Structure 1
Amino acid sequence: MSTSTVYDVKTTIEEIGTIPSQSRVEIEVLQDGEERENRAGSGDEEGDEHNKETASPGEPTLQQPNHLHGIRLVFVFVGMVLAVFLVALDQTLLSVAQTAIATDLKALTDISWVITSFFCTQAAFMLVYGQLLTLWPSKWLFLSAVVLFEVGSLISAVAPLMDVLIFGRALSGVGAAGIFICCLTILAETTSIRQRPMLFGILGATFALSSVIGPLIGGALTDSIGWRWCFYINLPVGGVTVIAIVFLLRATPPLGKQHGARATTWLEKICSIDIIGAALSLAFTICLILPLQWANVTYPWNSPKIIGLFCTALAILIVFIGWQWFLKEKALVPLHLFGNKTVVGSSVVTFFCFWNLLVFTYYIPYFYENVRGKSSAMSGVALLPMMIALVAMTMGGGFIITMTGHYWPWMVAAPFFLAVGSGLMYMVRYDSHNSFVIGAQILVGLGVGPLLQTPIIATQATSDVRNIAKCTSIVSYLQRLGGALGVGVASAIFDTELQLQLAHRAPAVDAHAVQQNATVLLDLPAGPARDGALAAYTYTLNYIYIMGAPTAFFVLLAVVFFVSHKSLKSRSRS
């Protein structure tokens, strides 16, 4: 039988982060000598990650964070970092292997589905996992997500046909969604709000860095031992994650679960899942992403199929919102969660953050490859100034937020760097000095980095403990959606503006040939036609880069008017 003792703690120094003084911690000393912290947290009008005050005798108590410390926390976190690394790597690893896959499987027309299937299921199932995490322990959901990701990778690696490969990629996307949402939820369950910014910063830096080195690793594997090893590589790394989580993470009830309540059966839990909402969200995501993938590649923008898919997505969204309103608390996305202004503001911030991250990550290499004549590998290297600045701000910002307890100033300052960096990228010309381009890239990285994980921190810090998983899944879903829409809008601008610019600056150059293979620009003989064509291509990219300025303005408005300006120090006191 366990015994409980209540201690007044003046100052507690944790292995990672600091718990403010005057903390009152209830430590339950178990028979096996382990100690478990059950903290009662502070709240505000928007809700907090803990209850506003400790429940009085006779009142129901809710499941609170169960903090990890020392070597257990380190190994569990390393396991999660490896899992996030694989997910981010998987999104870009195949960008240079598609030709080899299409040739080997003899299915060139279906190659776009290899990436599209992964992205669609990953985005849509983030909302599903947000609801599942309110029903089952995060440990088992995380392990099941890793298993799904690994099984999908294995199916993709051995796929004899393109249809089998696409199925494997879709299954991996489901697992990837669970991995990302479960990581963020597990950190909410096992660390204090003061520790989380630094840990989230490491996760964000891992995501950004692996997205850049993905094409380099994918190209090396494809050229040396074959494209199938782009999937085989996931298996041993995923095994390390499973071992760390199985042996070092204790399974606990979902955050906010009422203690003493009647235990629900598996059948009751399954019946409480918003299956219709999940199907609608998946259908909406597919109908929105497919036309963005197909436009001006498979079909023109004014094609009835493209327009029809966009109209269908809008209709599904209206039905989805109506269904969520009807279900209220049992919905996949309870609409009352948007009553927390910080959730709304964080969603806008993360939407445009990922919008800019993917747009600049995709289109800066276009400049280096097609204007400066660099190889794909060297274009990835040329992107490093932006990514190093981004990683430095993500990790450094997380560390400083952990020390100071303030996230809001970082979110306010970041849009100014993004706007200036975007403006300078707009001023880049085909003959601009490398130092000018690098400086502009660094400013963009300084603007995007602080916004990569800070919205999640703000959301978790201002959400009721019972809603942390769902609010986290909403913000993460909109993050992925912002990336997809950003790339889609950039593609539309690129295709339209390139024709106009070439017609104006290099009318003798075949615009269609340039759109199909931009390397023909560098094959042109030196002279006015070549200079005009390179200038036209660069001006087209300028119109894409400048999108960062208005989106930075929207981010600033969202932070100033919606994101709560609260100190994490007060939130970590009990």
Structure 2
Amino acid sequence: MADSELHSEGKLHEEGTSCEGTSHDGDNIHAEAELHETGTIVNHDLQNKTEEKDKDTYLHGAKLAIVFLGLGLAMFVMVLDQTIILPAIPVIASDFDAVNEIGWISSSYFLTQCSSIFLWGQILAFYGQKIPLLVAIAIFEVGSLIAAVAHNFITFIVGRAVAGIGAAAIGVAIFSISAVIVELKRRPVFFGLFGLIFVIGSSFGPLIGGSLTSNTTWRWCFYLNLPIGGVSMVAVAFCIPRIKPRPRSGNSTAPNLVSALRRIFGDHPVLKDGGTLSKICALDWIGSLLVLGGMTSLTLALISGGSAGWDTATVIAGFTCSGVALILLLLWEILVMRDEGMIPLRIARFRSLWGSAGVAFTRMVTVISTMSYLPTFMQATRHQSAINSAISTLPYSIGMAVFAIVGSVVVQKTGRLKWALCFGPAVSAVGAGLLFTISANTSYAKIAGFQVIGSLGVGLVMMNAILAAQAELHENGLVADIPQASALVAFTQLLGGSLGGSIGGALLTSGLRRYLPSDLPSSTTDALLQSVDTIWTLSGATQESAIEAYARALDNVFITGAACGALGFFFALICRNINIKGKNFRK
């Protein structure tokens, strides 16, 4: 099966275009067309022929289970890498004498991950998915090894940045490959299992990281990636069929560049159509550089704002530059690249794509505002250790996994997605709003119950957001553009995670400054801002006021999750109520 080729293809029929399909023997078949509500003429006969052709590429039984194992291990190691490092960050910064640069330990990984994800989306769409996935896992492994053996902070940051480049492709490739090997009507549960893996990696990563850091060394947090990634590469290499890329459009700006080079250097073999240089030039390098510039400026602003204040020149300049980069990126993609850009205009008009991206963004802000700051609440009000406070959030993690599976099963049975996209954010807003009401005296049973309510909402949305984007492309015969659509949804989710952490940190800091007693010595206030453990060095009324200040400041963080849940509900309303078991998806 590894040597077989899969060809995923799709064609957008514009309004007014003749709708014809061509049989395998070359005879023209006049197809019945139907005007879709988006303004696109959907050719059902041609679409059904493509679906029948793609049906042969779907895997079942043992073959699908083995492929799932390989893809699941790749996802697990990617998610684990993002969370296993959390308990080790203070130790790493201390070992390298880089406490003042601690923000770069996470930001370097996030920066390259966000900046390269759209470029990977193009690579996966244009040049196949199996080989790029193997390359991405290899890059991730190299980055992990560099970080594990680093003897100075700069080398460590380089390793994290390299790992981020590989991680950017892994998630997009997994969902893109799934779109080819699993038929749409069976994909909800398949995605739900990936959601389960995501939750397991996210939940147990900090526990594993804390144990390794305490009992051995933080370097094992990165060494652990090597065997897991290695097994994943073997499974991908030998079990996943080769996926043939879609043919290139003749409207790309890349052939013009190659033509200019031909006039200079002649008909060199490297410059031929479909050659190496032609493929490289077809990628949207300028758009990727604009994303990198914008994300770098945004990251610098967020890191500086958390330490130096949000009204400093560095922060203002960072936000300004990121805004300018965004405007330039939009102009470049719309006016120049058009259908050959990171987000082709032929799919940019589908509202479910943008609705699901908005849902993914707001969901991640809600998750971060809960999972990252509820442990702080438990440490500040219950004097729990880092590991015990992480255990206190297990109701949220376990609930998220359970409801992700339940939601996927219901979607697969009913064929409908929109109910989950609307109901999920609404319930997550209620759950986050209930956490806003907790105080230092609230029982843990009530806190756990509120977590379960919130996890119901975020669990329902977890994998159904990206599935909604894929479903609309399926319906319009644009299956080949799924990697780039998946890259957009993944990017907004990463952005939501980053902004959620930064906004939460800013709200916590500003809240503590507001609620801590004004008569506290400045040294005590600064110590409380730096570490929650300072609370337990105080005594009497001072300690009680510090606990109350932390609880009230964290209320502001939790209410942010509620607001984002409400916003996610309105993003969900944008999505179409597609039935993945409807006539446009019948085999």
Q: What range describes the TM-score normalised by the shorter chain of this pair?
A: 0.7 to 0.9
Kindly state the Cα deviation for residue 335 of structure 1 after the two structures are TM-superposed: 4.1
Which of these residues, 310, 329, 339, is aligned with residue 320 of structure 1?
329
Which residue identity is paired with 1:317? L
Q: Is the 8 A contact 1:62 1:256 kept in 2?
A: no
Which residue identity is paired with 2:236? I
Aligned to 1:409: 419
The root-mean-square deviation of aligned C-alpha atoms, in Å, is 2.7
Cα pair distance change 1:117/1:339, threshold 3 Å = same
Q: Is the 8 A contact 2:517 2:545 kept in 1?
A: no
SS in 2 for 1:227: coil
Cα pair distance change 1:46/1:205, threshold 3 Å = farther
Aligned to 1:7: none
Under a length normalisation based on structure 2, what TM-score does the superposition of the two structures give? 0.84
1: CA distance between counterparts of 2:34 and 2:457?
Answer: 32
Under a length normalisation based on structure 1, what TM-score does the superposition of the two structures give? 0.86
Q: Is the 8 A contact 2:188 2:467 kept in 1?
A: yes
Kindly state the Cα deviation for residue 187 of structure 1 after the two structures are TM-superposed: 0.1
Aligned to 1:300: 309
Which is further off, 420-429 or 263-272?
A: 263-272
Aligned to 2:98: 107
Aligned to 2:533: 519
Kindly state the Cα deviation for residue 270 of structure 1 after the two structures are TM-superposed: 0.8
Cα distance per residue 1:407-450 (max 9 Å; x no partner)? 21112211232122122111101111111111111111111111
2: CA distance between counterparts of 1:52 and 1:175?
Answer: 38
Kindly state the Cα deviation for residue 534 of structure 1 after the two structures are TM-superposed: 1.5
Which residue identity is paired with 1:539? R
1: CA distance between counterparts of 2:92 and 2:47?
Answer: 59
Unaligned runs of 5+ in 2: 1-23, 25-32, 250-271
Which of these residues, 105, 114, 118, is aligned with residue 123 of structure 1?
114
Say if 2:385 is the partner of 1:375: yes
Which residue identity is paired with 1:564? R
2: CA distance between counterparts of 1:46 and 1:253?
Answer: 29
Kindly state the Cα deviation for residue 184 of structure 1 after the two structures are TM-superposed: 0.5
2: CA distance between counterparts of 1:100 and 1:366?
Answer: 18
Aligned to 2:283: 273
Which is further off, 63-72 or 549-558?
A: 63-72
Which of these residues, 61, 85, 101, is aligned with residue 94 of structure 1?
85
Which is further off, 471-480 or 198-207?
A: 198-207
Aligned to 1:54: 46
Cα distance per residue 1:219-238 (max 9 Å; x no partner)? 11122221111111111111
Aligned to 2:513: 499
Say if 2:564 is the partner of 1:551: yes
Cα pair distance change 1:47/1:362, threshold 3 Å = farther
Alignment of 1:256-267 (within 5 A): 264-267=274-277
Kindly state the Cα deviation for residue 253 of structure 1 after the two structures are TM-superposed: 1.1
2: CA distance between counterparts of 1:180 and 1:499?
Answer: 39
1: CA distance between counterparts of 2:532 and 2:423?
Answer: 37
Aligned to 2:579: 567
Alignment of 1:120-519 (within 5 A): 120-254=111-245, 264-297=274-307, 299-325=308-334, 326-463=336-473, 464-503=478-517, 510-519=524-533
Cα pair distance change 1:162/1:513, threshold 3 Å = closer
Q: Is the 8 A contact 2:55 2:183 kept in 1?
A: no
Kindly state the Cα deviation for residue 531 of structure 1 after the two structures are TM-superposed: 2.6
Cα pair distance change 1:555/1:296, threshold 3 Å = closer
Cα pair distance change 1:178/1:266, threshold 3 Å = same
SS in 2 for 1:296: helix
Cα pair distance change 1:434/1:508, threshold 3 Å = farther
Kindly state the Cα deviation for residue 46 of structure 1 after the two structures are TM-superposed: 4.6
1: CA distance between counterparts of 2:34 and 2:379?
Answer: 53
Unaligned runs of 5+ in 1: 1-27, 29-40
Aligned to 2:554: 541
Cα pair distance change 1:549/1:198, threshold 3 Å = same
Kindly state the Cα deviation for residue 552 of structure 1 after the two structures are TM-superposed: 1.9
Cα distance per residue 1:443-490 (max 9 Å; x no partner)? 111111111111100000001223211111111101111111122222
Cα pair distance change 1:387/1:79, threshold 3 Å = same
2: CA distance between counterparts of 1:334 and 1:91?
Answer: 30
Which residue identity is paired with 1:545? F
Which is further off, 330-339 or 249-258?
A: 249-258
Which residue identity is paired with 2:580? L
Aligned to 1:72: 63
Kindly state the Cα deviation for residue 520 of structure 1 after the two structures are TM-superposed: 2.1
2: CA distance between counterparts of 1:331 and 1:432?
Answer: 52
Q: Is the 8 A contact 1:257 1:466 kept in 2?
A: no
2: CA distance between counterparts of 1:418 and 1:300?
Answer: 31
Kindly state the Cα deviation for residue 573 of structure 1 after the two structures are TM-superposed: 0.6
Which is further off, 153-162 or 76-85?
A: 153-162
Percent same amino acid at aligned positions?
Answer: 31
Which is further off, 481-490 or 507-516?
A: 507-516
1: CA distance between counterparts of 2:243 and 2:39?
Answer: 22
SS in 2 for 1:135: helix
Which residue identity is paired with 1:150? E
Cα pair distance change 1:379/1:91, threshold 3 Å = same
Kindly state the Cα deviation for residue 363 of structure 1 after the two structures are TM-superposed: 0.5
Cα pair distance change 1:397/1:376, threshold 3 Å = same
The structure whose residues are more often helix, as a share, is: 2
Which residue identity is paired with 2:484? K
1: CA distance between counterparts of 2:338 and 2:306?
Answer: 40
SS in 2 for 1:292: helix
1: CA distance between counterparts of 2:35 and 2:188?
Answer: 19
Which residue identity is paired with 2:328? V
Cα pair distance change 1:228/1:364, threshold 3 Å = same
Q: Is the 8 A contact 1:129 1:178 kept in 2?
A: yes
Cα pair distance change 1:501/1:415, threshold 3 Å = same
1: CA distance between counterparts of 2:436 and 2:214?
Answer: 36
Aligned to 2:269: none
Kindly state the Cα deviation for residue 63 of structure 1 after the two structures are TM-superposed: 7.3
Cα pair distance change 1:175/1:47, threshold 3 Å = farther
Q: Is the 8 A contact 1:63 1:253 kept in 2?
A: no
Q: Is the 8 A contact 2:366 2:432 kept in 1?
A: no
SS in 1 for 2:243: coil
SS in 1 for 2:311: coil
Cα pair distance change 1:122/1:56, threshold 3 Å = closer
Cα pair distance change 1:80/1:532, threshold 3 Å = same
Kindly state the Cα deviation for residue 64 of structure 1 after the two structures are TM-superposed: 7.9
1: CA distance between counterparts of 2:273 and 2:115?
Answer: 29
Q: Is the 8 A contact 2:125 2:482 kept in 1?
A: no
Cα distance per residue 1:64-86 (max 9 Å; x no partner)? 88211111111111111111111
